[in-house]
C-alpha cells in the first residue's frame, strides 16, 4: 500500500474532535483516521487541547445525590455498544454506516455503481464503484464534498488519490476525477448537501443542470 | 528535524523515574504520574472504586461547568455527567496513557455523549487501536505526554483573552469547520507548534500500533 499523502485539514480535524462536523463528514474523517496514523496523532493532539480546556473550566458543584447515584450504578449490568471492525477494504466507520451489511450496489450507468448509506437534508454518505479508466459521473453539489479512496485510485486536476487519501472539494473546485487504469476505484463520498448524479442527462445539457 | 531523547528505561507505574533530558528548560520536571493518571490506571487495572470516586470528584464539577458552557441546562448537564462518568468506568480498558491524557480521554467521551444525545445517532469513531497486552508500560512516554500537556496548558494560558475565547468556542463545538478555518483570531498555528512535540511522540507511538 502506498503512503497516504492527502490528509484531513486541521480546521476540519478540530471540528471533528469538537463534534461540530456534520455526520456525513464525520463518517469520512473517522474512516480516514482509521487508515492514517498521521491524522490519528493530529486528532489526539486536538483532543489534548480539548482536555486542557476541560481541566481549566470553572467547576460547577454537582448535586449531592449524583455521586452516590453513580457509585451505586457501577455494578449494574450493561450492554456494550456494538463494535464494527474493519472488513476487507472497508474501515470500521464505513461498516458501521452500513450497519454491518455488505455493500448493495446499484447501477448508475457506464459501469459505475453506488450504494447510498445515508442521505437526508444534512448530507449524504455513499460508496462509489468506478471501473478502471472511467470518469466519476458528473454530479452537482452545493457545499463541500469529501472523497476517501478505499480501493484502487483516481486522478483529477488536483492530483492522484490512492487508498486512504482524502480529497476535499468545495463548489469552487472544477474537477473530473477519473479512476486510474488497472483496478476499479471504490470510494466513500460524503457531502453536506443533496448530491445528484446527472448520469441520465445528455452530456451537452449537463452545464445547465449544474448548480 | 526533531531528535528524540527519550530515556528508554521501562518502569512500572508509580516508581520514581529519572527525568529524561529536556530540550527546553521547564519550571518543574515531573517524576511521577499525575493523580488523575494514577486513579485512572487503578480504575482500569484494579477496578478501584475509591480511585473512581476520586476521578468523579475531580472531573464531575468541571464536566458540569463545561457542558453548561456548551449550552445545556444544569439538569441536562448532570445527566450527561452521569453518562460520561459511567462510560469512564465501563470503557476504562480503552484508556491508554501512552497516547492520551486522562483529561483528553474524558473530553472525547464528553463530546461523544453530547452529540449522541443531540443527534440521536452515534458519532462515527475511528477504529480503536489495540494495545499489545504483554507490553510493559513505558513510563518515559507517559510522563513525556503529561509534560507536553502541561506546556500546552501554559501556551493556552498565555493567549490573549479573545483568542482564548475563540479556542474555547471551537473545542466546545460552537464553531463550524468553516468558522474554524476562517476565524482570524484563532491561533491554530500557535497551538500546532506547541503540540508538535506531542504529535511527534504520538506518531512514534502509533507507528508500532498501525503496522
- Domains (ranges, CATH) in chain B? 34-121 (1.10.1740.10), 138-211 (1.10.10)
Q: For residues B81 and B77, what is the distance between their CA atoms, to the nearest angstrom?
A: 6
- For residues B123 and A19, the answer to whether their CB atoms sit within 8 Å is yes
Q: How far apart are the first and last CA of chain A?
A: 37
Considering only A79-88, A201-210, B25-34, which range has the smallest mean pLDDT?
Answer: A201-210
CA distance B139 to chain A (A): 19
pLDDT of amino acid B8: 33
Helix, strand or coil, per DSSP, at residue B56: helix
B74 at A interface, C-beta within 8 A: yes
Considering only A63-67, B28-32, B154-158, which range has the smallest mean pLDDT?
Answer: B28-32
Say whether B66 and A54 touch across the interface (CB within 8 A): yes
CATH code of the domain in which A181 resides? 2.60.120.10
CA angle B132, A165, A15 (to 5 degrees): 80
Question: Sorting pLDDT into bands at 50, 70 and 90, what band is A141?
Answer: low
List of residues 6+ apart from A27 with CB closer than 8 A: A93, A94, A96, A97, A117, A125, A188, A190, B124
- For residues B81 and A60, the answer to whether their CB atoms sit within 8 Å is no
Question: Sorting pLDDT into bands at 50, 70 and 90, what band is B10?
Answer: very low
Say whether A62 and B103 touch across the interface (CB within 8 A): no
Whether pLDDT at B139 is above 50: yes
- For residues B72 and B175, the answer to whether their CB atoms sit within 8 Å is no
What number is the ipTM of this complex?
0.86
Domain span at A17: 1-211
Q: For residues B20 and B139, what is the distance between their CA atoms, to the nearest angstrom?
A: 11
Convert A106-141 to b/e letters by CB count within 10 Å (16 or more is b): eebeeebbbbebbeeeebbbbbbbbeeebebbbbbb
- Give me the number of domains chain A comprises: 1
Per-residue pLDDT of A16-48, as tens digits, reads 999 999 999 999 999 999 998 888 888 888 898
B104 at A interface, C-beta within 8 A: yes
pLDDT of amino acid A120: 82
Which among B52, B60, B153 has CB closest to A52?
Answer: B153
Partners of B205 on chain A (C-beta within 8 Å) are: 41
The mean per-residue pLDDT over the stretch A108-126 comes to 88
Convert B61-99 to b/e letters by CB count within 10 Å (16 or more is b): bbbbbbbbbbebeeeebbebbbbbbbbbbeebebbbbbb
Give me the percent of chain B exceeding a pLDDT of 90. 36
Which among B108, B124, B156 has CB closest to A93?
Answer: B124
Question: Sorting pLDDT into bands at 50, 70 and 90, what band is B137?
Answer: confident
| E strand or H helix at A207 | helix A206-209
Cell triple for A11: 480546521
Cell triple for B119: 443527534
Residue in the structure block whose three cell numbers are 492530483: A159
Which among B61, B66, B126 has CB closest to A30?
Answer: B126
pLDDT of amino acid B138: 81
Considering only A144-153, B150-159, B172-181, which range has the smallest mean pLDDT?
Answer: B150-159
A41 at B interface, C-beta within 8 A: yes
Per-residue pLDDT of B35-76, as tens digits, reads 999 999 999 999 999 999 999 999 999 999 999 998 889 999
Whether pLDDT at A70 is above 80: yes
Partners of A58 on chain B (C-beta within 8 Å) are: 65
Q: For residues B186 and B170, what is the distance between their CA atoms, to the nearest angstrom?
A: 9
CA distance A114 to chain B (A): 21
Residue in the structure block whose three cell numbers are 455503481: A113
| E strand or H helix at A89 | none
B103 at A interface, C-beta within 8 A: yes
Q: For residues A73 and A70, what is the distance between their CA atoms, to the nearest angstrom?
A: 5
Say whether B111 and A50 touch across the interface (CB within 8 A): yes
pLDDT of amino acid A211: 27
Q: For residues A150 and A163, what is the distance between their CA atoms, to the nearest angstrom?
A: 5
Amino acid at each position: 500500500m502506498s503512503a497516504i499523502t492527502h490528509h484531513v485539514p486541521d480546521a476540519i480535524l478540530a471540528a471533528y474532535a469538537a463534534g461540530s462536523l456534520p455526520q456525513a463528514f464525520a463518517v469520512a474523517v473517522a474512516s480516514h483516521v482509521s487508515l492514517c496514523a498521521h491524522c490519528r496523532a493530529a486528532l489526539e493532539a486536538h483532543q489534548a487541547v480539548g482536555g486542557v480546556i476541560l481541566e481549566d473550566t470553572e467547576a460547577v458543584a454537582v448535586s449531592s445525590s449524583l455521586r452516590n447515584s453513580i457509585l451505586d450504578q457501577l455494578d449494574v449490568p450493561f450492554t456494550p455498544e456494538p463494535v464494527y471492525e474493519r472488513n476487507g477494504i472497508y474501515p470500521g466507520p464505513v461498516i458501521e454506516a452500513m450497519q454491518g451489511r455488505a455493500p448493495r450496489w446499484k447501477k448508475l450507468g457506464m459501469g459505475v455503481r453506488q450504494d447510498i448509506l445515508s442521505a437526508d437534508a444534512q448530507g449524504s454518505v455513499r460508496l462509489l464503484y468506478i471501473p478502471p479508466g472511467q470518469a466519476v459521473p458528473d454530479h452537482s453539489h452545493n457545499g463541500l464534498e469529501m472523497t476517501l479512496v478505499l480501493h484502487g485510485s483516481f486522478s483529477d486536476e488536483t492530483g492522484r488519490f490512492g487508498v486512504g487519501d482524502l480529497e476535499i472539494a468545495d463548489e469552487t473546485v472544477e474537477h473530473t476525477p477519473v479512476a486510474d487504469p488497472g483496478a476499479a476505484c471504490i470510494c466513500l463520498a460524503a457531502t453536506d448537501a443533496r448530491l445528484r448524479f446527472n448520469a441520465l442527462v445528455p452530456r451537452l445539457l449537463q452545464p445547465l443542470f449544474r448548480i | 528535524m526533531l531528535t528524540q531523547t527519550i530515556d528508554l528505561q521501562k518502569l512500572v507505574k508509580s516508581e520514581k523515574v529519572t527525568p529524561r533530558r529536556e530540550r527546553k528548560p521547564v519550571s518543574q520536571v515531573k517524576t511521577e504520574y499525575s493523580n488523575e493518571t494514577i486513579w485512572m490506571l487503578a480504575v482500569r487495572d484494579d477496578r478501584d472504586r475509591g480511585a473512581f470516586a476520586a476521578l468523579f470528584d475531580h472531573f464531575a464539577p468541571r464536566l458540569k461547568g463545561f457542558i453548561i458552557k456548551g449550552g445545556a441546562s444544569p439538569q441536562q448537564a448532570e445527566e450527561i455527567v452521569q453518562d460520561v462518568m459511567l462510560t469512564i468506568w465501563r470503557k476504562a480498558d480503552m484508556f491508554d496513557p501512552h497516547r492520551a491524557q486522562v483529561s483528553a480521554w474524558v473530553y472525547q467521551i464528553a463530546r461523544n455523549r453530547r452529540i449522541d444525545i443531540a443527534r440521536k445517532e452515534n458519532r462515527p469513531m475511528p477504529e480503536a487501536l489495540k494495545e499489545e497486552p504483554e507490553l510493559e508500560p513505558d513510563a518515559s512516554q507517559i510522563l513525556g505526554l503529561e509534560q507536553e500537556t502541561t506546556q500546552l496548558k501554559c501556551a493556552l494560558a498565555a493567549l490573549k483573552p479573545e483568542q482564548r475565547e475563540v479556542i474555547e468556542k471551537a473545542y466546545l463545538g460552537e464553531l463550524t469547520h468553516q468558522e474554524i478555518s476562517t476565524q482570524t483570531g484563532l491561533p491554530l498555528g500557535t497551538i500546532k507548534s506547541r503540540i508538535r512535540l506531542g504529535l511527534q511522540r504520538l506518531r512514534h507511538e502509533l507507528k508500532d500500533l498501525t503496522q
